[in-house]
Amino acid sequence: MSQAPSPSTDRSSGLEIVLQWAQLPPEHLEIALKAIEPELAREHEWRMEQARLRVQDDKDRRLHALYLGGLVAGFLLAAGMLTGAVFVGVRGAPWLAALLSGPSLISLAGLFLLRRVDSGHTRESGRAHRVALSAMAAQQPAPADPATNSGVA
Other beta carbons within 10 Å of 104: 19
Residue 113: exposure state from Cβ atoms within 10 A (0-12, 13-18, ≥19): middle
Q: What is the pLDDT of residues 55-97, one digit of tens each?
A: 999 999 999 999 899 889 888 988 998 999 999 989 988 878 8
Q: Which residues of 38-69 are buried (b: 16+ CB within 10 A; e: fewer)?
A: eeeeeeeeeeeeeeeeeeeeeeeeeeeeeeee
- How confident is the model at residue 151, as a pLDDT? 52
**What pLDDT is recorded for position 54?**
97
Query: To the nearest 10°, the Cα dihedral for 118, 120, 125, 128?
Result: -170
Determine the Cα angle at 46 with ends 45 and 51, to 5°.
95
